[in-house]
Amino acid sequence: MPITHARHDGRSPADRRPVKIKRRYTRAAAGSVLIQAGNTTVLCTASIEEAVPPWMKGQGRGWITAEYNMLPGSTSPRKKRDRDGRVDGRTTEIQRLIGRSLRAVSDLAALGERTIAVDCDVLEADGGTRTASITGAFIALADAIHAIHDLPDPSHGPLTDSVAAISVGLVDGRALLDLDYAEDVEAAVDMNVVMTGRGRFVEVQGTGEEATFSEKDLATLVKLARAGIHELHELQRHSLGNQWPFARNDE
């Protein structure tokens, strides 16, 4: 499968979009990150609540939950706001994915009986909003945990690994990394891959859009995603700097 021809934005098939990360974007939340992947922009905030859901009380464990929303001006035509607690199926699916991804790299007992609520609000959407949300949400979560000064065991932090995500797909017979909206619409196969910094899978969401794909196609797409996520892992590490919660020999 050829991976040499340039795409409509000049990238090679194996190139991800430029990523910009700005920490501490807002002041009220314990952790906040503005992440931009190409023309997709997401604000991720992590807020600490000194309580857990009723069904978790007394268990000595914390909870991490996530909400996702596309703001009205993030798309054209304008997206209507969710009202009266009504959330569409896509939004529900994505926010559950973000929550699962963050909990997959967390020791909830080490968090203590508190909740960290992560909100991912899409300011501008050009494909890959869920994957950018996961990548940014981890940084916001790490900052929020760093702000907690009474963990049950300060020597044992709640984060067990990092997590990031990226999309891949087959467009016109080519395997492409980090699809923008125009490519996503044309993709015969699209896939979202969530992986830890140690290279373990959290989730792989792959779909043939009126098409099928082979085991070889799958291997090619996963290989592309692994390389892209490794780059995002390094960007997360660089962004957090001395607040990176892992020693190199722990990874």
User: What are 39-50's pLDDT values in tens digits?
Assistant: 999 999 999 999
**pLDDT tens digits along 3-36:** 457 899 999 999 999 999 999 999 999 999 999 9
**pLDDT tens digits along 47-67:** 999 999 999 999 999 999 999
Q: How far is CA 37 from CA 73, 156, 181, 216, in A?
A: 17, 32, 12, 28
Domains of the chain: 19-250 (3.30.230.70)
Residue 226 has pLDDT above 60, yes or no: yes
Q: What is the mean pLDDT of residues 123-151?
A: 97
Q: What is the mean pLDDT of residues 132-141?
A: 98
**pLDDT tens digits along 65-86:** 999 999 999 988 898 887 766 7
Nearest in space to 26 (alpha carbons), one of 163, 127, 164, 144: 144
Q: What is the mean pLDDT of residues 218-235?
A: 98
Q: pTM of the predicted model, to two decimals?
A: 0.94
